[in-house]
Structure 1
Amino acid sequence: MIELSLAELREVAGFAVACAEPTLAIFERDCPDDPRARAALDEARGFAAGGDRTKALRVTALAAHRAARTAQELGRPAAADAARAAGHAAAAAYLHPLAKATQVWHILGSAAHAARAAELDAGDDRAAGTACLERATGLASPVVVSVLTRYPNAPTGGGRPAQLLRQLDAALRVAGGC
């Protein structure tokens, strides 16, 4: 089991919100009548600021992921990844104290999907994703890096968001001296 304090969970959630927020504009531009991504970020922001870890975080995280599926079905892949980023931000509050690589998604999933949303919005330009990951690296506080380094390296497999996740994971571990 990994030791995690409520203050650390709040810090991770705040980081996830900061990573996802810039891509909310993509989602709202492409899906203007869908409030689910914003609701997830609002709940995560409230938790990070000291609010309770409530069922609303789980509900809005799942709803944001459903919004991502809807956006994908409508042929709006950048919006889909932006909604996934919001969903991961709300889910960050529920990082589990299990030493499993999959838990890295709770810490960095928001940043990885935000980077993919930026790439897709820029015509699949990898430089846009790299810029997002560099921004995320700068946003990661020593607390976020400390939490991350208690977990195994990001899992293998997956598509482009998973590649971005591993890239950010490696960068933060190097930055943190691990």
Structure 2
Amino acid sequence: MDAEQYGSLTYKQTVSYHEKLRAQVFRNVEKDFGGLGITLSEIAFKDANEASSWKTMWSKPEKAATWDWVRLYNEYRSRGGSRRFDMAIRRGGTLHGLCYGMMEGNRLVLRLHALERSPVNNELAGKVLDITLYAADLYASINGAQEIWLCDPVSPAHTRLYQSKGYSPVNNWRDDVTHLMLRLK
């Protein structure tokens, strides 16, 4: 859908458009990662509630994200509305990872604001990021985005991990990494 067609949609049509896109992306990613037996969906309140308990379960506190998943759930459902990108990753009914992001209004950038995997009993450890970035790339590409940003990395180790996936750090005037960026082809 081009920018002019997209711009003429009502709010309700925009919500429906993005819901269908997310569902399409989820089914494609499930198929492409078929050997893992994953199920993708939008984040439900129970997922956000479960993920909020993860920060106390990390064996190394520096790996723990500071996200308040319940607060994010409420914000993305109201303010985020139609353009949100939210994804829960399950395998065998167990929650293994979550991600919240948002397409900018002009649809040129998909910003991923919160991304985390379960710290315990995670059969998908080491794969949650790949699944998430693959899904985000697909969603962004379908929307005609030119970039994906991974905002506010949790730690320098996360920054290095994202760099290993092809993302480039963007620094502020104090030389702090504010986000990492991937230009889409």
- The two structures have a TM-score, normalised by structure 2, of 0.37
- The two structures have a TM-score, normalised by structure 1, of 0.38
Return the structure number with greater strand share.
2
Q: Which has the higher contact order (CA 8 A, sep 6+)?
A: 1
